[in-house]
Structure 1
Amino acid sequence: MPALSNPKHERFAQALAKGKSQAEAYAEAGYKPSEPNASRLTSNDKVQKRVAEILDRAATRAEITVASITDRLLAIAARAEKSREAPMLQAARASLMDAAKLNGLVVDKSSIDARVTTPKTLNDFYGGESDA
């Protein structure tokens, strides 16, 4: 179901899906506060279907986790290893490395170029002449 054709109804449905109360969602949608009207709009079939759709999409996004991605990468690696052909073995290796990185088992090295200089004399350190 696409967004509701009435923009206020759509904002109301989105606010309900975010967990707002009926009254809060009604006011957030741009209506004058009214609990009876908020309750009536909540019972609207189109609004109920839209809220359900928004919540369903959110649940689907929540299912994509590090564990689910790792499982998929390992499945790709297992299928690729079965072929024993060089390009497929490279794909298997890449999938395994991606899974390892995703789970923190491999950390890419980074180099730090730091130069430490020390003063040759106290004058260099203090930036001028010393009393000594």
Structure 2
Amino acid sequence: MPVLTNARHEAFAQAIVKGAPASVAYKASGYGASGNSAEAAASRLLSDVKVAKRIAELQSKAARKATVTIETIAAELEEARVLAIAEKQTSAAVSASMGKAKLFGLIVDKHKHSGSIGTYDLTKLSDDELGSLEAILGPLADTAGDPSGAEEA
């Protein structure tokens, strides 16, 4: 559907697609109503067949533009890779190939964590601190059992 011949209807449809509330879009498109009358008039305009079709068309166009899929990204990366090869930019070509491989899950970045786990001298804790620690860790220890296989006597 082409642009609406009524400029105010077109402005209203454009404002709706941009996310404006109907009454705000109604006023912004040049109509003078205010308050409840603006809401009622905007509601009537939304139900106009030509306006509703134009809004649907504009929303569809916006959705198509916003759709980014793995396939579209892969196509862009392939286009960049082909251009890089044509320009004899091997580093850029490799980078595009690696981007595609990551996109398809063929390469996963691994991160190695470093640092010490740490050991703690529990003999220096007070009875209250030991009690708090036991309250926190006790349920974990009860469900895990004794890893040594030996039972307490």
Unpaired runs of 5+ residues, structure 2, are 4-9, 23-37, 127-153
Provide the rounded CA distance (Å) in 1 between the counterparts of 2:99 and 2:72.
13
Which of 49, 69, 72 is 1:68 aligned to? Answer: 72
Q: Could you tell me the percent identity over the aligned residues? A: 20
Alignment: residue pair count: 102
Aligned-pair distance for 1:52? 1.4
Q: Against the structure 1 CA distance between its residues 55 and 117, is the aligned structure 2 distance closer, same or farther, given a 3 Å change threshold?
A: same
Provide the residue aligned with 1:17 in structure 2: none
Residue 107 of structure 2 is aligned to residue 106 of structure 1: yes
Kindly provide the amino acid, as one letter, of the partner of residue 11 in structure 1.
P
Instruction: Note the 1:2-13 alignment, pairs <5 A.
Output: 3-4=11-12, 11-12=21-22
**Tell me, what secondary structure is at the counterpart of 2:21?**
helix
Instruction: Note the 1:35-74 alignment, pairs <5 A.
Output: 38=43, 41-62=46-67, 64-74=68-78
Residue 95 of structure 2 is aligned to residue 94 of structure 1: yes
Q: Against the structure 1 CA distance between its residues 3 and 91, is the aligned structure 2 distance closer, same or farther, given a 3 Å change threshold?
A: farther
Kindly provide the amino acid, as one letter, of the partner of residue 4 in structure 1.
F
Q: Against the structure 1 CA distance between its residues 115 and 61, is the aligned structure 2 distance closer, same or farther, given a 3 Å change threshold?
A: same
Kindly provide the amino acid, as one letter, of the partner of residue 79 in structure 2.
A
Provide the rounded CA distance (Å) in 2 between the counterparts of 1:6 and 1:106.
43
Residue 125 of structure 2 is aligned to residue 125 of structure 1: no
Larger Rg: 2
Aligned-pair distance for 1:40? 6.4
**Tell me, what secondary structure is at the counterpart of 1:114?**
coil
Provide the rounded CA distance (Å) in 1 between the counterparts of 2:57 and 2:48.
13
**Tell me, what secondary structure is at the counterpart of 1:107?**
coil
Aligned-pair distance for 1:92? 0.7
